[in-house]
Structure 1
Amino acid sequence: MTMAKIRVGLLFGGRSGEHEVSINSAAAIAQALQTGDNANKYDILPIYIQKNGVWVAGDTANEVLDSKAPLATEETNPSQLWQFPTQVQEVEVWFPVLHGPNGEDGTLQGLLTLMQVPFVGSGVLGSAVGMDKIAMKMAFAQAGLPQVKYRAVERSQVWSNPCIFPKLCDEIEADLGYPCFVKPANLGSSVGIAKVRSHSELETALDSAASYDRRIVIEAGVNARELECAVLGNDNPKASVIGEVTFEGDFYDYETKYTEGRSQIHIPANLPEKIVSQIQEMAIQAFKTVDAAGLARVDFFYVEETEEIYINEINTLPGFTKFSMYPQLWKATGINFEQLVDQLVQFALEK
């Protein structure tokens, strides 16, 4: 007897600077859900959130997946934002593939929770804490996970009072030294991040970061290798082999990350076994600390000379093309791309 296929709502696009990355991730997942055994288990219902926030399905969504190019959009009436396609009613499990704000920060997860339909990935808490670098760092500190020294500031400290700002920069300079990194707290893919080496660069970077977000984090620079570990599961998550990112640029910024040939991925990373085990244990601890579910990629700094490991951040909805680090780590661990997306749907149904 033929089993009925599960209708998967593949939700992609979104209102963030990572809109195009989301389309590419969704296209890879769509192909995987239609390959091999998955083709007999799942029906895909692509639903595309345009840059103006309007949800579309059917031929339009399929055309975006096929072309991997976003639709040109215009400003829309706010009332259109809540006119969902009729296909939404058919979805049995959601596979959201939206990176950045309004996608992996808990806002979308709250909406899907209200729909009372299972979905892949973390819920509201895990997504929100995983997205906000300041809340994330506070959670990691409470869990005893080692981190580089950092300061958190608000936009009001940067913009509102010209008397406070110079003093703030002096304090950061004395506390963290140079080089240091200035980051908006709630953006992904290295958007808005600057490496600074002087007082004037610090002032400029803080002003720029404040234009992206009202919360800003400044981290001390560290001469370290950049390592990543993938986590998969719900209550009993598993960790992958460790990967390493090397790059030609000054740091792993947006351009370096998404320009072919500017960075290299090494899987598995050449590391002592005890370091591998430590990173895997810390990755699972970080996953549980923020109450993540389904999937996450956890990034680390490794100071080879002293064998110190610092947790950098957790990404609860990492890039998901076949060339992204997360699926590549699992491929090297023994789970291919088609098996990976199948397991994620099953974990969503289990959760």
Structure 2
Amino acid sequence: EISKKDMETKDLEKILENIKELKKPWIVKPSNQGSTIGLSVANNKDELIKALEYAFKFDQYILIEEFIRGKEITASIYDVENTICLPLIEIIPKTGFYDYQTKYTPGLSEHIIPARLSEETYKKAQELGVLAHQALGCRHLSRVDMIVEEDTQNIYVLEVNTIPGMTETSLYPESAKAFGIEFPDLIDSFIKSALRSI
């Protein structure tokens, strides 16, 4: 993580030294944003500078991560009476990158339910989703975004969305529907669960 203060007090060479173990390309993103707002992919020093400048428009702190090539999946965690993972969704952006526009424009991404994974990897991803949800003390619902690396089939948790989207293109209600929970019933169950926990 890099702060604006770090950028003012450290030169770029020191920042590059700190991330030298990360393979290129790099993902540069604001620490406290969602929906890939402020996110860029940087392949070299010049692109890194531009990516940092862009990301700092949205937050005081920036994350630089290694870009992992693989299958993007998401696990919707339904935590009402018991904590369960709804069917995994595989996300295929038609623009090549799952950015803000692709996420919220109908037809720009394909969602495959269930995600096309081996039985072992599928089960492990569901378990990781539940573990991530519980480790952060989430309640009622969350959505855990992951990448299954192409070469190794290792699963990397990218982030936990504690307030996942509920729009017409959103993943969580789509996963719930595949499980047999219609949208009005889904929202009703969250309200009742929240009221019980007061």
Aligned equivalents of 1:166, 1:323: Cα separation in 2? 39
Aligned equivalents of 2:88, 2:155: Cα separation in 1? 13
SS at structure 2 position matched to 1:327? helix
Match for residue 263 of structure 1 among 109, 116, 119: 109
Aligned equivalents of 1:182, 1:293: Cα separation in 2? 29
Aligned equivalents of 1:334, 1:256: Cα separation in 2? 26
* Residue 98 of structure 2: aligned partner: 252
* Residue 65 of structure 2: aligned partner: 219
The normalised TM-score by structure 2 is: 0.93
Deviations 1:71-103 (A, max 9, x none): xxxxxxxxxxxxxxxxxxxxxxxxxxxxxxxxx
| Contact 1:231/1:298, CA 8 A, preserved across alignment | yes
More helix by share: 1
* Residue 14 of structure 2: aligned partner: 168
CA, structure 1 residues 225+349, in 2 after alignment: closer, same or farther (shift >3 Å)? same
Q: Check if 1:316 corresponds to 2:165.
A: no
* Residue 75 of structure 2: aligned partner: 229
Deviations 1:264-319 (A, max 9, x none): 11111111111111111111111111111111111100024322111111101111
Shift of 1:235: 7.2
* Residue 330 of structure 1: aligned partner: 176
Q: Check if 1:302 corresponds to 2:148.
A: yes
Deviations 1:45-92 (A, max 9, x none): xxxxxxxxxxxxxxxxxxxxxxxxxxxxxxxxxxxxxxxxxxxxxxxx
Aligned equivalents of 2:15, 2:49: Cα separation in 1? 7
Paired positions, count: 197
Shift of 1:173: 5.0
Match for residue 198 of structure 1 among 44, 62, 67: 44
CA, structure 1 residues 349+246, in 2 after alignment: closer, same or farther (shift >3 Å)? same
Aligned equivalents of 1:282, 1:242: Cα separation in 2? 12
Gapped regions of structure 2 (runs ≥ 5): none
Shift of 1:205: 0.8
Aligned equivalents of 1:304, 1:170: Cα separation in 2? 26
CA, structure 1 residues 334+242, in 2 after alignment: closer, same or farther (shift >3 Å)? same
Shift of 1:237: 1.2
Aligned equivalents of 1:344, 1:234: Cα separation in 2? 7
More strand by share: 2
Code of the residue aligned with 2:184 in structure 1: it is E
CA, structure 1 residues 223+300, in 2 after alignment: closer, same or farther (shift >3 Å)? same
Q: Check if 1:155 corresponds to 2:7.
A: no
CA, structure 1 residues 308+169, in 2 after alignment: closer, same or farther (shift >3 Å)? same
Of structures 1 and 2, the larger Rg is shown by: 1
Counterparts of 1:168-187 in structure 2, within 5 Å, are 168-172=14-18, 174-187=20-33
The share of aligned pairs that are identical, in percent, is 34
Deviations 1:105-158 (A, max 9, x none): xxxxxxxxxxxxxxxxxxxxxxxxxxxxxxxxxxxxxxxxxxxxxxx1111112
Instruction: Point out 4+ residue stretches in structure 1 off by more than 4 angstroms.
Output: none
Shift of 1:260: 2.9
Code of the residue aligned with 2:3 in structure 1: it is E
Aligned equivalents of 1:324, 1:304: Cα separation in 2? 25
The normalised TM-score by structure 1 is: 0.54
SS at structure 1 position matched to 2:144? strand
| Contact 1:169/1:199, CA 8 A, preserved across alignment | no
Shift of 1:172: 4.5
RMSD, matched Cα: 1.6
Q: Check if 1:241 corresponds to 2:87.
A: yes
CA, structure 1 residues 322+210, in 2 after alignment: closer, same or farther (shift >3 Å)? closer
Code of the residue aligned with 1:272 in structure 2: it is S
Deviations 1:239-283 (A, max 9, x none): 101101111334211122222332111111111111111111111
SS at structure 2 position matched to 1:168? helix
| Contact 2:106/2:169, CA 8 A, preserved across alignment | no
Code of the residue aligned with 1:216 in structure 2: it is I
